[in-house]
Amino acid sequence: MIALASDFLVFQLANGERVPFSAEMISVELLGDTAQWFDAEFVKHAAKAVFHYFKHDLDREFVTISEFAQALETVLRGFKPNQPVESTPECPAHPGVAESDLCRLARESADGCELFFFPRLRDELREQLRHAPRILRFRGLRSCVKQLTGARRWTPRCQDLEEQIVSFLRECLGVEARTSAFALVVE
């Protein structure tokens, strides 16, 4: 028997067939009017977050398509469609949602220097956690990465830094004591 790679999850399709997928392989299509409500990149990151939830938080190796779809739907329902992006941490667009702008953090980090960005990101995470949000949202990841790397177009270096930022946030959350469950969204 072939062992499943550590970054894969087995999905059971409606016909009973089981297929392994990685987070990058998951493709989500929204139908009807729902497609206009969410940016494709946002849905991609939400799907990756749900994948991570099943694989690492629940320590599952197997999930049905309906379980995955239901969890993704729950995540997406937490965000109002057509809501303006502009909000501040003191006055979030949604109650129970704390937001931070990663581009702002990059600008505040000595003109985008990575050396100062990560400690600033950790401080922002701690500050947001003090408010005990249901959802902690960091937005502007792609633009932030391009700003930090000085890239105009997406490069392998950008992809590496994007993964480092998301991993850093997960590690910081693992260290911070939380009294209640919440969702972390990085888009």
Partners of 22 in beta bridges: 8
- Would you say 138 and 100 are in contact if contact means Cβ atoms under 8 Å apart? yes
Residues 117-138: tens digit of each pLDDT? 888 899 999 888 888 787 888 9
Q: On the CB side of 47, how many CA atoms lie within 13 Å of its CA?
A: 20
Alpha-carbon distance of 134 to 153, in angstroms, equals 34
Partners of 185 in beta bridges: 137
Q: Considering just the CA atoms, what is the radius of gyration of the chain in Å?
A: 17
Predicted structure pTM score: 0.52
Partners of 8 in beta bridges: 22
Residues 132-177: tens digit of each pLDDT? 787 888 988 998 998 888 888 889 999 999 999 998 998 888 887 6
Integer angstrom CA distances of residue 155 from 11, 101, 105, 162, 177? 31, 22, 21, 11, 35
